[in-house]
Amino acid sequence: MMKKLFLLTLLISVVAITEMHAQTTNFDASWQFFNAEAEGAEKPDFDTSKWRKLDLPHDWAIEGPFDEKYNARCGGLPFHGTGWYRKNFKMDASAKGKVVRVEFEGAMYNAHVWVNGEFVGNRPYGYIGFEFDISKHLKYDGSNNVIAVRLQPEDLSSRWYPGAGIYRSVWLKVDERVHVGHWGTYITTPTVTEKLAVVQNETTVTNKTILPVDVTVNHDYFSPDGKKVASAKEDIKVAANASGTSNVWCNIENPQRWDTDTPNLYKVVTTINQNGKVVDTYETKIGLRSIAFTKDGFFLNNKKVRFNGVCLHHDNGSLGAAIYRRADERKLQIMKDMGVNAIRTSHNMPSRTLLELCDELGLMVLDEAFDVWKMEKVPNGYNVFFDEWAERDIKDMIRRDRNHPSVIMWSTGNEIIEQKDKKNGWKVAKRLSDYCKEIDPTRPTTMGMNNFPNPYTFNFAQQVDIAGINYKPTKYEWVREEFPELPMYGSETSSCTSSRGVYHLPIEKYKTHESLHVTSYDLIGPPWAYPPDVEFHFQEQNPYNMGEFIWTGFDYLGEPTPYGGKDNSTNGYWNGDWPSHSSYFGAVDLCGFPKDRFYLYQSHWTTKPMIHLLPHWNWKGMEGQNIPVYCYTNCDSAELFVNGKSMGKKVKGKDLTELKVNFLRYEPKTFQSKYRLSWEVPYQAGNIKVVGYKNGKVVQEEQIFTAGKPAKVTLSVDRETIDADGRDLAYVTVRIEDKNGNLCPNADNQVFFSVKGAGNLEAVDNGNQISLESFQANHRKAFSGMCLAILKSSNKSGLITLNAKSKGLGSAKIVVETK
């Protein structure tokens, strides 16, 4: 084994939270859109009078409609076809002679770009950012310039909902002809201790003039509280029409380190000085921290840390793939509440926004590039572009992301079919890993592997620094015995499925259910899957394992397993169980409402006393029949009461709950879980209450009442004040309650919304995986008693008033202020 790869002390400080050139302008406003073929639409004089006007980011597919003619595997939404975007803009005469670039953070997919009718470039992969120098194509005389973008997502190109359109932001950059290059700063820290951080700064300076230039590259470093703490500079010569590199270092004493509890961020201001004049300014936020991966675990700032990780797809449910900073922020905050400390960007390059938020919130990131290489999973996937684009795409990902303190590993792929290719698969794995090391040798490479034991016996796992293991908890010990120097972690675990608030009795380990929902008793999954408790057990049995990334933190659009089809198959559509069209895997549903499994993970991953009780207590017609009652808690013990009568106290770790299981490579049909407490309780209407004890004292309790008939609609909002920037969001939770304020767990009442004031109703949802209601309607049925309305601010300060009403239940109102 290559031991030097497995004892990696990786000390990194970071860029890319903010890039500020001499002049960078957000380019999202005032585009035109047409969703069809339009021959000649790249020409400036093309008639767009009937095109739609909109602002970016934009995902055309989320607008629907849902239809069985579209692939349920991809959400049952129209993400493929041709879409055109155009924008008219003027350039000031002062920009003539400078370098003008347009940067796309992401466009889905197969983007082709024209400026004033002249083709400037294309980029097939929808998840990677890119830019083009458009200086020579522009008019600087005050007349109109036209940028046109054609996107052509294809059917059978993704295994989940990819979205469609220019779904991330666009920027216009105007620089002097001498400037910091694209993603041009690379900051590392060879040493980070409690007393000292040694910071290296490698800066690429681009010279677009016909003569060599002498420049001074200066860096000023500012602490999290804004104090200047260090400086460094270097004089360099840059050849004509070429790039040069400055390398400097400095010491920062008593650094405020970045970690998951205190994600401290420094700011670096880089200036390029030519002939005594500042020609470019580049502002960056960085984090100072050390990471180390050994056979005995992962260490952050010399402290051993387990990955309490989740896999996340890039969509945000009813908002689709379009980037909203608040949507990602809320998603990550909900994950942190669950006890999450790490994110796997499954299975594609994340947005810059997501990484910025992970930097700010203290979440570690496994940054993943591809779901497929040369060998296909679906016919029109990335395999079509792999030979031509893979090297450039993965290198660009690392150039863009390598300075984020949150990023700790580079993943070259997920469940790649080349695992099965004994002769050549390892060669491709090595090539991609080498690309990563060429751009950033400070972080390890990894991959999620599932074709056990081939990756290990075919010299495939050996090509990355750390082999991720998908769904093989029973094989951790084997890997340790056969490859004792190899660090390991569960790169994809559990795959448990459920529908929020749905409970099927009796408890059975079924494959599918006629309702097209999945019980929330947290034991159902596809053949490779198992309850979270199983992974908890094997992680504890193998303390050298670095942790896990569960599949998944949130539900996502598409891949409605266990309904519709088989994973990794290339036989097309997954519509056999229509209208099932979105994921059941999440610990949280599409709305961001926690499922019961959220609390199971919270009970294992957090220490603040918590307790959760399930199921609901509305079982009319089942009086006297036993109802399984589960408790998820991190307390020492818990006592259950039914209508005030004790059903007994259970001790966590001693009183076990038998779970029915049936998954690959595991012979027993039951698993004795010490991670959940349970009782069998004869049903009688009223209430159930659970009380949690620590050291013999009551520290938490939860109570569920039998709800009466639906009587009212109630509203609550995540934030009462939001930014008046035309992009900020407020999430309004809608509950159907009885007259006493109890949630009606089976309610499916239709709720109608109206909005007045300084914003609009951006989307609605209810988390129901089989609902075909439009995300952009002004109404939504409740699912398990709840639904969601998302408000978006305008560019004006004021009040947004949301009214919600339902037949026979009256109405409710909530007000959000925009500033």
Which residues are tagged catalytic?
Answer: 415, 492
Angstrom distance (rounded) from CA 499 to CA 610: 22
The alpha carbon torsion through 328, 330, 332, 335 (nearest 10 deg) reads -140
Angstrom distance (rounded) from CA 181 to CA 204: 6
Q: State both tokens at 87.
A: 């924008």
Q: State both tokens at 594.
A: 């926690």
Instruction: Find the largest Cα–Cα distance for the chain.
Output: 90
* Cα 737 to the center of its chain, rounded Å: 32
Backbone phi and psi for residue 184, each to the nearest 5 degrees, phi listed first:
-90, 0
Backbone phi and psi for residue 658, each to the nearest 5 degrees, phi listed first:
-80, 125
**Bond preceding residue 579 cis, omega within 30 of 0:** yes
Angstrom distance (rounded) from CA 779 to CA 295: 54
The burial of 154, by beta-carbon neighbours within 10 Å (0-12 exposed, 13-18 middle, 19 or more buried), is given as middle
DSSP helix/strand/coil, 94:
helix
Q: Indicate the DSSP class of residue 570.
A: -
* Cα 793 to the center of its chain, rounded Å: 23
775 touches 740 (CB < 8 A): no
Residues with Cβ < 8 Å from 569, sequence gap 6 or more?
none
Q: How many CA atoms lie within 13 A of 348 on its CB side?
A: 21
Angstrom distance (rounded) from CA 735 to CA 785: 6
Positive or negative, the Cα torsion across 41, 46, 47, 48?
positive
Count, in order, helices (H) and strands (E) of the chain.
9, 47
Positive or negative, the Cα torsion across 479, 484, 490, 493?
positive
DSSP helix/strand/coil, 600:
helix
- Three-state DSSP string of 384-439: HCHHHHHHHHHHHHHHHHCCCCCEEEEEEEECCHHHHCCCCHHHHHHHHHHHHHHH
DSSP helix/strand/coil, 1:
coil
Q: State both tokens at 234.
A: 């270097």
Residues with Cβ < 8 Å from 10, sequence gap 6 or more?
290, 291, 292, 293, 408, 442, 443, 444
Residues with Cβ < 8 Å from 291, sequence gap 6 or more?
9, 10, 11, 12, 298, 299, 300, 408, 443
Positive or negative, the Cα torsion across 430, 434, 435, 436?
positive
Q: State both tokens at 471.
A: 């769904």
- How would you classify the pairing of strands 213-222 and 228-238? antiparallel
Q: State both tokens at 603.
A: 């009970």
401 touches 381 (CB < 8 A): no
Closest CA to 442 of 401, 475, 481: 401
Closest CA to 529 of 572, 561, 568, 489: 561
Angstrom distance (rounded) from CA 754 to CA 731: 15
**Which residue's entry shows tokens 């259950």?**
640
Q: Indicate the DSSP class of residue 314.
A: S
Alpha helices in 501-628 (DSSP H): 532-541, 596-605
Task: List residues bridging with 653 in a β-sheet.
Answer: none
Angstrom distance (rounded) from CA 433 to CA 810: 60
